[in-house]
Every structure is written in C-alpha cells, then in structure tokens.
A and B are shown apart, each in its own frame.
Chain A
C-alpha cells in the first residue's frame, strides 16, 4: 500500500494492545465522569436536547405575545411569577429577556454544543479509526465546562432581576448598565460567566478534535479519504479555536467596563439622571469583536450539519457525493472567508462606509462556495437510487432550507439593500432558515442516522417520517411569512406593533406564524417519544443498517471502550464507493466499505486505483 506509512501502521499495533486492559466501569465512570468519546457525545446530545426544549419553550412564550397580543397570560404566572403583569400581560422587559435567552441557548447550547459537540465527539474516532480522542480527560472536561456553563445560564433565568436581556449579541452600553435594563444586572454577569465557561468548553473540545483528526487516523486514512463529516468537524474546530477567544476578549473587556470603571465600550453617557465619568470608549469596538466570533459562529453551527448531510445524502442516494474535492474546497473557502465578513452585521452601525464597501464585496464572495455546495448536492441526487430514511428526508430538507435562507443572504450582504432590511424580520427569516432550521435539520439527520450506532437499536422510521413532514411544513410556515413582514419594515425585538401606523398590519400573519410555531414545537414530541422509547425498546440494530461504507459500521453493534475489539481496520479507499460499476463482479452489492482492499475488487477498480496497485506491487 502506497499510503500505508509505517508510522500509522505502528500506531495500529500500539492500540491493539489497549484491548487487553480490562475496563471495570461503575456507574460514575461509565455515565458521569466518562472519558469515552461515545459516552461524551451522548452526554452532549442529551444535554443539547434538554436545552432545545428550554429554548423552544421560551420562544413559545414570546410568540404568544407577538401572535396573540390580547391574550390573557395569567395561566403562566405559576412559572413566570411577576414577569406577568397584574393585567395578565407579559412584561416588556421580560420579553427582551426571552428573546435574548432563546437566541443564546439555541445558537450556543443547542446548535454548537448539541450538534458539533455530539457528532464531533461521537464520530471522529469512529470514522477515522481511532480508539478514542487524543485526550479523553480534556474531552470530559469539555463536557463538564459546558454543563457548568449551562447551570449558570439556567440559574440566571430564575433570578429576580431577570436574565440578560440586551439581545443575544448583548451590545454595550445596554448590556453594561443595569440602569438601562434590569437584565443587565446580575443576569448579565451570569451570562458573561456562562459564556466564558462555554468558551473554555468549546476550546477544549476543538483542540481535541483537531489533534485527533491530525494524529490518530488509522492506516490508509489519508486526508483525501476522510468522510466529509470529518472534514466538516475538523474545519469547524479550527474556526472555533480561532474565533471563540475573541469573544472571550470581548466579554472580559465588558466585565471590566461593568465592574471596574474602565471605558472600553463606554463614552459620554447620561443615564438615570447622571452623567457617567467614562469617556473615550467605543461601543462599536464591542460589535467588531462580537461579530468576529458571531459570523464564524454561524458556520460553526452550519458546517457540521452540512457534513452530516453530505454523508447521509451520499449513502442513501447510493451514489458517491458529487465533487468530493470541490466539497472540501468549498468548506475550506467558507472557513477562510467566514473570518473576513463579520462587519456585514454592522452596515448601519455608524462605522466608516468604506468598510461597508469592503465587507459587501467579501460577503457576497462567500455565497459562491455556498452555491457550489448546493449544486453538488443536487448532482448527487441526480440519477441516484434514493432510499428515504428519516435521515435522508431531513438532509433533503436541510438543502431546501439552506437554499431558501442562503438566497436572502444575498440581499442582506448588499449594504445598500441592507439599510432597509437590517434588523427587520427579514433578517429573522434569513437566519432562522439558513442557520436555525438548516442546522437543526442537520442535527436531526445525524440523530436518525447514527442512533443505531449510538444505542444499538433502531428508531421507528415511520414516526420519523411523520416527524419530518410536520417539522418541515412547520418551519416553512413559521419562517417564510416573516419575509413579508420584514419587507414591510417590521423591526425585530418589538414587544408589540401597535404603537406605529407603519407596523399595524399583518396581525393575522403574526397570529398564523405563532400558531405554526406552536404546531411545530408540539410535533417535536414525536421525536422525543421516538428517541427515548427506541433507546430502550427499539428494534435491535443490525451491524450496518444503511449499507454504509464508513468505518463506524465495522465496529461491533454496541462498541465498547476502544471501539474495535481487535486491531483497528486499515482503510484502502475513499468512503463513497456506492454503486460502483462492476462491483457485483467482485461480489459486492451497491457499496464497497473503506476497509476492502483494492486487491479484492479487481473488476470495479478505476484506472487510477489500478495504477495505485501497480505502484504498490513495484515496491
């Protein structure tokens, strides 16, 4: 084998020894302080699901307010207490707290930790052929920092002055001054602490993912043979490592401004009847720092979903992913470009218009790799032999949502058009489709696809179909109408629209959106039932339920510590040999796993593979 270098070969040997260790797990080491990447992945998943329920429930409350402003909300008083006014209405300040926490929870806890945390952890060692992560201990720490961060964030929901309420971006001075909004008191402190812990968690995780992918690939697993899932997790981790520290810096400076009288972000402020001493700071500085993470963050959320989708679509259309290299190239392009577009969130922030010019240019360039990805998905489906598993459905749904939401990005990226659209419901529609829904669909696709590996049992696919269709119809009903409301100029973060003539219309559409949101939320119960029921009572999974090529399906149905009981298999080909011509003559069905040597498939080898064999022989 030309690609089997001695180092990795040695490494395979090395690990083979590990198995002779006996693992005596007790409850604590198995389920709580586990260093096994599979358990940690599941911990991230279950915690992510928990947060998704919380984040979703928060949005239900503010959607009630938006859709049915006259409704008597007395009945949620048992939960919300004094945040329901004596008139039975939602407190306007708490409305802001709700949207802030909804955004924070969904972006960071559900779609970053719940998605990337789950699948990077779970799949990287299994798909590259490693026993575990490079550092199991750091991996465990990563989860527990995340858990701690969650505890702090959760507690902040219940404190008297309320949680942070300056929007998920928490721009100062609003977030810096408790006089400005009560959530900027203890709630904001806790938000900052929680985010700092979250960043630590994310960095510990990302460093581990990167190291593992670079160092622990099994024999023959060259970069050009990595499944696209791994590529996406790898690049996501790189983005995280480079951008999260900047958020930490932004948060630290904000902590100083809040507690120690510095003036990084504050200048010439008169509030609550007094002039504050700070001068010379710049609120815009925070925005630059925040979006330097904030924009890459949206790709941290999306790339893993795209990776999962590539894998699922290829497997279930029984075709190689079209343009494997172009897919990697476009992800690389997105990774690099995602660092140079941040200020498109700030076209009307008052920054120099010349910057607007530059960032329009760079922003619209990022649409090119995104477009390439879409076309490649379409080409993969073309002349496929598509098996609609629930995962396939969610992946196709992702592509549809990615198209719908990506195209509106082209409006927003154009600074001149963004003047009108900035911070209206058009933006809300854009990012909920392209980021929120698309990534959520990626998460779902991943869960349905790898559930058999995770729990050794199958989820009920028919419930999966019902879940998909209700959710798919639901998210379009929720987010598509927001485009109209946004074009009509409705600003986001409004507690009610009755004060303005200009925003007095569309109450019917707003009610429709709210009803659709409740419908979609309730539909998720189907998933919850399916998930937890199947975990214990589902049909036993076969070894390779989707006839997939990747390595994880060569492990035992319920892999133990170390993943493979014997030696780690070596890899001889890329993961996308589906429906290869003449495979039947070699005795294969429509898939040839990565572990099958080229020598066993003389009939189906492609010319370049034959050359590879020649080379090996000559050596």
Chain B
C-alpha cells in the first residue's frame, strides 16, 4: 500500500515536471523569449537573490536567538570555559565575515544584474586590494591561532601531580572504569589476561592491582583535577562527555589520556537546569559497530566529601572475585589479603565461627 502511494507520488512529480516544462516552452515561444539571451527571468532571478538572502538571514537569526538555550549546553569543566570562549570569539569574527560576504554576494548579484545600458566595468586587477584581503585575513587568523594554541597547551599539558587517576576502558559496546584504590596506583594489565570477568586484563602478579576497584558508575570529585587514562580493547572508541568539553579516542594498543577539572556537581547541575533527573553521560564518539549509538555510562560528579565517602565504600575487584586469588604469586598472597581488606573479613568470619 505504502509502496503504491510512493509510486503514485513519484509519477505525480514526474508528470508535474513534464507539464511545467511544456508550459515554459509554449510561453517562451509565444513571447518570443525562447531564443533571447536575456529574458525577463533575469530580473526574477536577481530579485530572488535578495529575497533569499533576507529570508534565510532572518530565519537563521531568529532560530539562533530563540533556541539559544537549547543548542548551547552548560559548561561543567575549567577548560570548557576556555574552549567555549574561543568558540564564541570565532563565532563573532566569522559571523561578521559571513554577513558581509553573503550580503555582498547576493547584493552584487542583484545590483549588477544585466542592464543593456550599463556595460560591465573592465577591472581585471588591483594589487593593493588583493594584498589587503590577503593580509587582513592572515592577521585575524594569526590572532585566532595564537589564542587557540595557548588554550590547547593548557588542555593537553601534563596533568597536575595531585590529579585523581581513573582508567576508562571502551569495548563493544560499553564502558568500564577502574580506580587505583587506596594505594593510588593502577595495577598492570595485559590484554592476554582478559576474560569474561577480568575485563581489564588485570595482572595480579602486580601488587598495585590488588586494591583496584571497578564500580558501575563513573564518579569524579568536583573542583579537583582528574586524569582519565583511556584504553580500548577491541576497536577504536572515543570518550565524550559533552558538558565537560571532553573528548579523546580510546585506541587499542595505545593508551591515551585527558585531564580536566569538573566544576559542577551533578546536584548543582540538576538545580541549574531545573531538571531533577539530569545525569552527566559518557558517550562514544567514534564509529565502533552495531551498538555505537548506545555506548553509555552514567557519570556522577560528587562533592569532595561525597566522593571520598563513595570511594571508601567501594570494595576491591579482587575481593568480589576471590577465585582470582589463585593467580597471585605465593609470596604476595598475604599482601593481597591485606590490601583488599579480605584478611579482616576472613578474621571476622573466623571470629564469628
């Protein structure tokens, strides 16, 4: 049925085109314009140039103004303020150029439409003018480059010493995060050790891995530098959190990183947006297969206290997966029990017996 509708529609369009064509031809022949080089259509086209300019400028201007709050999303990171600033400076500069050049383009097209009495002006060259419009853009661009690069350096420079390190792993089609635990160090990993449970391929011959924990959600503290260490397991993914203006590819075989400081807790953001259900989300920004559009992880920005509290509550991965204790070299077993807190648990168990 639907196919029929489409077929009929297509037929209708075709017939319409043919009809319009016939009419054009006949009118042309009657008016004798069919062989003329300049027809009344010239005026129409010229006029439409101006109409087009005015209509599109007003619609886009109107939309940009009225929907401003919808398409600009709040900033929730320190560097985000800088890059957004650059964005709007660039918008200002290019906006002016956009309007001037488009107005001239359509304006000239209208104003200098064919006129028997006004021959064109033979004007092949003007060295000064050309120098002018080479040098001025060059200067403007130089200014944009300089401000851009200084921001780029701040964003991509080394993370501060005290940064909270969190590992993010992308795989088809989800994210996992790993925290270094109390020792502040992420344990080694090896992709050959990956299995259905040990998704990071944590290497338990490394003692710093014992207390690493892998929560369901990504928590980060507000107003404290955070450094993401980013990995991918299968294909390239890309870490993207829009409100943080944060994006970095996750590449198999090549760890990447991104450091930033969040400036608004989830709670604050909920209040600001007046949306009690608001959540920061981590999205995938690099085509990675079937589930690309659904690779989401919730991100929670906590106040300092909440964050520490949350962290303290997290159990190490090893303590949740005790069967992996067998992978630990004999001499480190003792340490593993201590670091994961399993020794006290074991004691408690013994005592209760």
Contact = CB atoms under 8 A, between A and B. Distances in A.
B21 A463 contact: yes
B41 A364 contact: no
Nearest to A278: B253
Nearest to B115: A385
Interface in A449-492: 460-463, 465-466, 469, 472-473, 476, 480-481, 484-485, 487-489, 491
Given A284-B254, A414-B145, A462-B24, A499 B296 contact: yes
B300 interface: no
Contact of B138 (A368, A473, A506, A545): A368
A382 B112 contact: yes
B34 interface: yes
Contacts, number: 363
A19 interface: no
A96 B292 CA distance: 10
Given A180-B172, A407-B98, A414-B90, A364 B289 contact: no
Interface string B95-122: 0011001101110110011110011111
B17 A463 contact: yes
Contacts of A408: 94
B122 A581 contact: yes
B253 A268 contact: yes
Contacts of A525: 13-14, 17
Contact of A357 (B28, B67, B114, B152): B152
B73 interface: yes
Given A174-B289, A181-B289, A396-B109, A403 B98 contact: yes
Contact of B144 (A382, A410, A462): A410
Contacts of B121: 319, 382-384, 579
A393 interface: yes
B238 interface: yes
Contacts of A495: 292-293
A54 interface: no
Given A386-B109, A414-B148, A494 B114 contact: no
B29 to A, nearest CB: 10
B105 A423 contact: no
B60 interface: yes
A360 B288 CA distance: 27
Given A379-B129, A422-B247, A388 B113 contact: yes
B348 interface: no
Contact of A371 (B113, B137, B252, B253): B137
A411 B125 contact: no
A109 interface: no
B38 interface: yes
Interface in B139-160: 141, 144-145, 148-149, 151-153, 155-157
A75 interface: yes
A417 B122 contact: no
Contacts of A282: 253-254
B72 interface: yes
Given A75-B3, A171-B236, A283-B236, A384 B137 contact: no
B45 A181 contact: no
B25 interface: yes
B236 A385 contact: no
Contacts of A262: none
Nearest to B97: A407
A371 B150 CA distance: 25
Given A388-B41, A399-B105, A423-B285, A488 B122 contact: no
B283 to A, nearest CB: 6
A321 B287 CA distance: 44
A488 B108 contact: no
B109 A411 contact: no
A177 B288 CA distance: 11
Interface string B63-105: 1100100111100000010111011001101100110011011
Interface in B231-269: 233-236, 238, 240, 242-243, 245-249, 251-254, 256
A55 interface: no
Interface in A266-315: 266-271, 273, 275, 279-284
B108 A416 contact: no
B281 A407 contact: no
B353 to A, nearest CB: 40
Interface in B274-305: 277-279, 281, 283-294, 296
A610 to B, nearest CB: 16
B140 to A, nearest CB: 9
Contact of B45 (A393, A411, A476): A393
The 3 A-B residue pairs with the shortest CB-CB distance, nearest first, are A267-B253, A353-B156, A489-B242
20 contacts: A180-B289, A181-B289, A269-B252, A283-B236, A283-B254, A318-B120, A319-B121, A320-B123, A350-B256, A360-B145, A365-B141, A382-B121, A400-B105, A415-B148, A416-B152, A419-B247, A500-B296, A502-B243, A506-B71, A529-B21
Given A174-B287, A393-B45, A400-B105, 6 more contacts: A275-B194, A348-B238, A364-B145, A388-B113, A403-B105, A408-B94
